[in-house]
Amino acid sequence: MNNQVIDNINVEMRFIFKKNETTQRIYETLMLESTYDTNERAKTTIRVENNTLIVNILAKDSVSARAASNSFLKWINLSKQLLSYVKDVNTSST
């Protein structure tokens, strides 16, 4: 059995949205999360290129990479759902 340890993992996730406004709003939300709790095992950078949100995670180990990836996937999904809900509420109230 090979006992190699995987470390220094770099994860890049790209999310393409239809509207630049959606990309920007989710970016602003994630920036709050990425600066709130600094973690020595995983560092995250976030940037926007046109309608694409790019999340880079540099983790010291696979557990940290998975945890950080899952957190950002959940935050992005929640943000998208909230933006959709707000849009639906605003549309139905006018």
Encode 31-57 in three state secondary structure.
Answer: HHHHHHCCCCCEEEEEEEECCEEEEEE
User: What CATH number corresponds to the domain at position 34?
Assistant: 3.30.310.50
Give this prediction's pTM: 0.81
Tens digit of pLDDT per residue, the chain (94 long)? 566 667 799 999 999 999 999 999 999 999 877 666 566 889 999 999 999 999 999 999 999 999 999 999 999 999 999 998 887 666 766 5
Residue 39 placed within a domain: yes
Domain annotation covers residue 88: yes
Residue 48 domain-assigned (yes or no): yes
Q: For position 7, what pLDDT does the model report? A: 77
Order of strands across the sheet that contains 7-16? 7-16, 52-61, 42-49
Residue whose pair of structure tokens reads 């095992």 in the numeric block: 41
| Cβ partners under 8 Å of residue 48, min gap 6 | 23, 24, 27, 54
1 DSSP assignment: -
Task: Look at the chain and report how many structural domains it folds into.
Answer: 1
